[in-house]
Amino acid sequence: MAIQYLFSLLILYLVTTSASSESETRYTYIIHLAPSLSQTRTRSHPPLHSLLPSRLRHPSPRHLYTYTLSAYGYAALLTPSQARYLESHRSVLSIQPDQVHHPHTTHTPSFLKLSLSGGLWPQSNLAEETIVAVLDTGIWPERPCFACDDSFPLPPSKWKGECVSTGSFNASQFCSNKLIGAKFFAKGYEAAMGHPIDESRESRSPLDTEGHGTHTASTAAGTISPDAGFYEYAHGEARGIATQARIAAYKICWLSGCYDSDILAAMDEAVSDGADVISLSVGSSGYAPQFFRDSIAIGAFGAVRHGLVVSCSAGNSGPGRYTAVNIAPWILTVGASTVDRDFPADVILGDGTSYTGVSLYAGNPLNSTELPLVYAADAGSRLCITGYLNSTIVKEKIVVCDRGGNARVAKGSAVKQAGGIGMILANTEESGEELIADSHLVPATMVGETAGDKIKKYIKSVTSPTATIVFRGTVIGSSPSAPRVAAFSSRGPNFRAPEILKPDVIAPGVNILAGWTGASSPTDLDIDPRRVEFNIISGTSMSCPHVSGIAALLKSARPDWSPAAIKSALMTTAYNLDNSGEIIKDLATGEESTPFVRGAGHVDPNKALDPGLVYDSGIEDYIAFLCSIGYASSQISVFTRDGSTTNCSAVALATPGNLNYPAFSVVLSSYTDVVTYHRTVTNVGSSGSAVYEATVSSPDGVKVTVVPSKLEFSTVGESLSYEITFAGIADPVIITESNSFGSITWSDGIHNVTSPIAVSWPKSFVSSM
Ligand SMILES: *[C@@H]1O[C@H](CO)[C@@H](O)[C@H](O)[C@H]1NC(C)=O
Ligand SMILES: *[C@@H]1O[C@H](CO)[C@@H](O)[C@H](O)[C@H]1NC(C)=O
Ligand SMILES: *[C@@H]1O[C@H](CO)[C@@H](O)[C@H](O)[C@H]1NC(C)=O
Ligand SMILES: *[C@@H]1O[C@H](CO)[C@@H](O)[C@H](O)[C@H]1NC(C)=O
Ligand SMILES: *[C@@H]1O[C@H](CO)[C@@H](O)[C@H](O)[C@H]1NC(C)=O
């Protein structure tokens, strides 16, 4: 502590004694400006150097981007002295150092019950007039999922975007009435690296040399690919969710990550180009930053203000609490779950016992039923790190490797390099029973923690342990039950606003088949020479574009719904029971998931088309919410962009829980605390007169009262309000956990409008467990 203090004093000393800023290293900053009235009219920004005093004008700030729609201001290379000066300038609302994020790394339409014979697909015309902006690693356009025939109509007239051409991306060849936009944003990335992009390693163009962006874009809006599959796995017709929607690819992610300055520039252009939905499978890997420092939250706010739906991944940092990112209430935050398709590969031990795992291994099968087996911990590297396995020990054996640390496919490659012939990848406590199928280079399968422990016990118990792995291909069915929430899927409570439940919904994100780049292998390992048209990968990155595609369909079918109404429809119609009729399970524990894990539940696109009622919200509501979480008007000004004029004492919500959100997260400060939230629902059913009655499933230890408990609507579009009170029941014996859960459903006999309820008990009142 003392040393750290001394060190910061030293830095301060060095900085204050350097007279000029010329010798300082420059960094990228995002500068949010207050538009003065005249500038708002002309939409021109004051030049940056004009804001600096003459002593700080050298080196001249290097301008990277100008933001006008999703944010208002600049990205520029500045010295820290220049940045410090600008921070206190009256025209500057906020200045943030640029930060880097990472991508949150088909059968799914039928699992989602989408069908041409009824429901959302026919009623949305497959979202033909809708444009999905995919902000990701770019696009590999030469894939069947991006092809369109002559029947594909011209892009909607609102479209103002374009495809840019470079040496490696020929727009007139690659773009079409399907892929209508392709751009790249690299200025922040290049500034951070300090040199231009190395074209021998990646492409300075919209071209996807990584694979992730091609996968997410084809999931959201790929056309039909009749003969898709990954080797012999998952064969059949693959199609994106919004088959006819147009795709605009904005490449923002590069080899070392995705920079805020580039993301914000792409969001800005997606708005001005005329996109309807932004799909962003990228985010922080640690805890979510404060909203006013979170460029994705700021950019999303600007996009929502212009009527776009912003759908983001919740992150892959589960199963710990508070791990969800992209958690601003105006963002649609998506967690990952399984589908009813599996790729089983069984481990059969020398003693005859067998355990089911999963695998996408596509090479020759193992020949022998009794291959020698060894635990990697006994060969120098429990995690199977390349170069650390003792090849004398693993040679010609099946190696049991623990999950965690390095990439799962890299473990198989380490085994192969050390002369091993197969791998059993065993989960540990962190990943529990969550099984992810990977396209391993050696015959390999992944087993859950329980099976892994038994296999290790068997190895210890005999002198010559043996095993084999049997690959069973693709199996669709109800065992194991689906959906189940992935252990990696990031969870609530909301780290920045515990009264806003996050994630919002879950969607398919485990073992998802979609298009892939031709520029790298399905494992992204350099030693893997394979090139594939389709790949099967997992992550909340994969669940986000499913929901982006559904949002595009909804926007098309219900053009007058706001982004909040679309979000409400998805949440209140989501389901919570799996295909065996039980509450959706959490793969981290094997037990029932909670609303902090599954949000409002699994999306149900056809039901979302006709939710009955919606909980609507607009920009003013979000500003009132930001006031209520204690943000100063100067911090809120990066959202409102009007200087420091938000009078929070006039507009703040009485409590953040009063935001008209389609879910309830109640923080009780004592065992007998009483909290009342206000809600307004709008009738979007087809018949004007409708009577809804409330049914509550009360969380343990809480008495829930709804007033009124009956809402009588007489017209379509009518809004009615209710109050819901959560009263703690003073009996500490009831509550053995820090949370309890329930739900409220408004029903008119035709529609069930369901919101989850999560109650957080104060730690001091939670009994010893
Ligand atoms: C780009 O594609 C168009 C259409 O396929 C073709 O006519 C043109 O020659 C290509 N340009 C280059 C530079 O390859
Ligand atoms: C199985 O045996 C065949 C023929 O002996 C051999 O070519 C193949 O590589 C073996 N498979 C594996 C996975 O070792
Ligand atoms: C590898 O294992 C063998 C056999 O147990 C042992 O003799 C050798 O020293 C080990 N090598 C290393 C580098 O640890
Ligand atoms: C802010 O609102 C409060 C409450 O409505 C009011 O009393 C106060 O005068 C307002 N302040 C300003 C600067 O307008
Ligand atoms: C609404 O929920 C009730 C109670 O769970 C159920 O019986 C009914 O079938 C549901 N109705 C619809 C339309 O989903």
**DSSP code at position 270:** H
Q: Atom 12 of ligand 1 has which residue's CA nearest to it? A: 170
Q: Reply yes or no on whether 273 is catalytic.
A: no
Alpha helices in 386-528 (DSSP H): 391-394, 408-417, 449-461
CA distances to 8, 20, 53, 86, 376 from 14, in Å:
10, 12, 21, 20, 50
Per-residue pLDDT at 534: 92
Whether the per-residue pLDDT at 690 is higher than 90: the answer is yes
Q: Which residues contact 683 (CB under 8 A, 6 or more apart)?
A: 612, 613, 690, 713, 715, 716, 717, 718, 719, 720
Whether the per-residue pLDDT at 763 is higher than 70: the answer is no
Q: Which residues contact 479 (CB under 8 A, 6 or more apart)?
A: none
- Spatial CA neighbour of 668 closest among 736, 733, 740, 595: 740
State whether residue 409 is helix, strand or coil: helix
Q: Number of C-alpha atoms within 13 angstroms, CB side, residue 479?
A: 1
Q: Reply yes or no on whether 136 is catalytic.
A: yes
CA distances to 620, 657, 704, 735, 747 from 676, in Å:
21, 9, 10, 21, 21
If you average pLDDT over every residue of the chain, what do you get?
A: 91
| Tokens read off for 284 | 């922080």
Mutate to test the pocket of ligand 3, among 374, 381, 389, 393 (most ligand atoms within 8 A of CB): 393
Question: Which numbered atom of ligand 5 lies nearest the CA of 752?
Answer: 1
State whether residue 389 is helix, strand or coil: coil
pLDDT tens per residue across span 251-271: 999 999 999 999 999 999 999
Q: Atom 5 of ligand 4 has which residue's CA nearest to it? A: 650
For ligand 3, is residue 589 a contact (CB within 6 Å)?
A: no
Q: How far apart are CA 462 and CA 473, in angstroms?
A: 31
C-alpha of residue 652 to centroid of ligand 4, in Å:
12
C-alpha of residue 182 to centroid of ligand 1, in Å:
16
C-alpha of residue 362 to centroid of ligand 2, in Å:
14
Q: Do you know the residue count of the chain?
A: 769
C-alpha of residue 751 to centroid of ligand 5, in Å:
8
pLDDT tens per residue across span 629-672: 999 988 999 998 765 588 999 999 999 999 999 999 999 988 89
Whether the per-residue pLDDT at 486 is higher than 80: the answer is yes
Per-residue pLDDT at 693: 98
| CA-CA-CA-CA dihedral for 632, 638, 644, 646, to nearest 10 | -70
pLDDT tens per residue across span 562-574: 999 999 999 999 9
Q: Reply yes or no on whether 212 is catalytic.
A: yes
Element (H, E) at 358: strand 354-358
**How many other CB atoms are found less than 10 A from the CB of residue 614?**
26
The residue whose two tokens read 């409590």 is 655
Residue 169 near residue 182, CB atoms below 8 Å: yes
Q: Confidence class of residue 525 from pLDDT cuts 50, 70 and 90?
A: confident
Per-residue pLDDT at 733: 60
pTM exceeding the 0.85 threshold for the entire prediction: yes
The better pLDDT of the pair 527, 769 is held by: 527
Q: Which residues contact 530 (CB under 8 A, 6 or more apart)?
A: 439, 521, 522, 523
**DSSP code at position 167:** T
C-alpha of residue 479 to centroid of ligand 5, in Å:
25
pLDDT tens per residue across span 52-99: 999 999 899 999 999 999 899 999 999 999 999 999 998 898 999 999
Q: Atom 3 of ligand 2 has which residue's CA nearest to it? A: 367
Q: Which ligand is nearest to the CA of 388?
A: 3
Catalytic pick from 431, 538, 541, 760? 541
Q: Atom 1 of ligand 2 has which residue's CA nearest to it? A: 367
Q: Which residues contact 558 (CB under 8 A, 6 or more apart)?
A: 565, 566, 569, 609, 684
Per-residue pLDDT at 730: 64
